[in-house]
């Protein structure tokens, strides 16, 4: 009986330990949200936010790098416990996974070749007319792909694994435009597209296209009520005390925290 009691105690301790060990999936190819530095370490805004969440909920978190379009499917089959990768909260995704309270709300931009007619566009409606039948690049599995397919129905949609591939094809003239978050465009336009690429139209948010969702949140499998409650509390506290704002200013140079 004593042996059984000891065995049960060890088993319970193991369960408690494993409950605090979380596997976080991310696609580390989207600076400054997340990327891999010269030493092979995952770094970025989401990494710092995720690490702070883990600290506040007393969890040991292990980050795993995965192509973006495999993140939510991987979460659904149990490969990850959480996904933190600038994932926008929208109705379609919320049917498949649960989200924490949003920690960020980042604006988006369309970029075109310098000299394109779209550079002079003033509104989202202008863009949908000017680029109605354009060839537009987006990262696969993103809300950007959803926006283009929904609002530019005659466009030729080209999907890519990584943001830099979109910039390269835009520079090479293989596509007419690309859509992604403004923060992801900024280093690409500055470093690769100086005097060759330009922003078209205004900053775009869910006010322009509902598919952009309700901000970026931590994704987790359906039904993880206790875990969701802990992460929600951590996120809300980090927004209230300015932690997310501080992390955002470190990586973006401006505040993208959810208001």
As to burial, measured by CB atoms within 10 angstroms (0-12 exposed, 13-18 middle, 19+ buried), residue 255 is: middle
In a domain, 257, yes or no: no
How many domains are there within the chain? 2
- The whole-angstrom separation of Cα 164 and Cα 106 is 19
Q: Are the C-beta atoms of 215 and 62 separated by less than 8 Å?
A: no
- The whole-angstrom separation of Cα 100 and Cα 56 is 15
Q: Are the C-beta atoms of 200 and 108 separated by less than 8 Å?
A: no
Helix (H, G, I), strand (E, B) or coil at 160: strand
In a domain, 237, yes or no: yes
Q: What is the mean pLDDT of residues 56-71?
A: 96
Domain span at 75: 2-105+215-251
Q: What's the CATH number where 179 sits?
A: 3.40.190.10
In a domain, 256, yes or no: no
For the chain, the average pLDDT equals 91
pLDDT of residue 33: 94
pLDDT of residue 194: 86
pLDDT in tens, 68-109: 999 999 999 999 999 999 999 988 899 999 999 999 998 899
Residue percentage of the chain with pLDDT more than 70: 92
Task: Name the pTM for this structure.
Answer: 0.72
pLDDT of residue 207: 85
Note whether 50 and 118 are same-domain residues: no
Neighbours of 57 (CB within 10 A): 16
Note whether 157 and 245 are same-domain residues: no
């Amino acid at each position: 009986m004593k042996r059984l009691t000891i065995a049960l105690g060890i088993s319970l301790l193991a369960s408690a330990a494993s409950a605090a060990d979380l596997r976080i999936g991310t696609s580390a190819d989207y600076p400054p949200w997340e990327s891999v530095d010269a030493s092979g370490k995952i770094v970025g805004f989401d990494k710092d936010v995720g690490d702070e969440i883990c600290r506040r909920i007393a969890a040991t978190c292990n980050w795993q790098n995965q192509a973006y379009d495999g993140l939510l499917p991987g979460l659904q089959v149990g490969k990850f416990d959480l996904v933190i990768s600038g994932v926008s909260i929208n109705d379609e995704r919320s049917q498949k996974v649960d989200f924490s309270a949003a920690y960020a709300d980042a604006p988006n931009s369309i970029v075109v070749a310098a000299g394109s007619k779209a550079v002079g566009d003033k509104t989202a409606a202008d863009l949908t007319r000017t680029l109605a039948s354009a060839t537009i690049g987006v990262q696969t599995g993103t809300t950007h792909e959803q926006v283009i397919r929904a609002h530019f129905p005659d466009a030729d949609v080209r999907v890519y694994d990584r943001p830099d591939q979109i910039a390269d094809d835009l520079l090479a003239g293989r596509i007419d435009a690309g859509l992604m978050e403004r923060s992801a465009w900024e280093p690409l336009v500055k470093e690769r597209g100086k005097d060759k690429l330009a922003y078209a139209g205004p900053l775009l948010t869910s006010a322009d296209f509902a598919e952009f969702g309700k901000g970026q949140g931590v994704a987790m499998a359906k039904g993880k009520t206790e875990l969701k409650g802990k992460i929600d509390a951590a996120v809300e506290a980090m927004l209230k005390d300015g932690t997310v704002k501080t992390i955002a200013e470190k990586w973006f140079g401006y505040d993208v925290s959810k208001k």
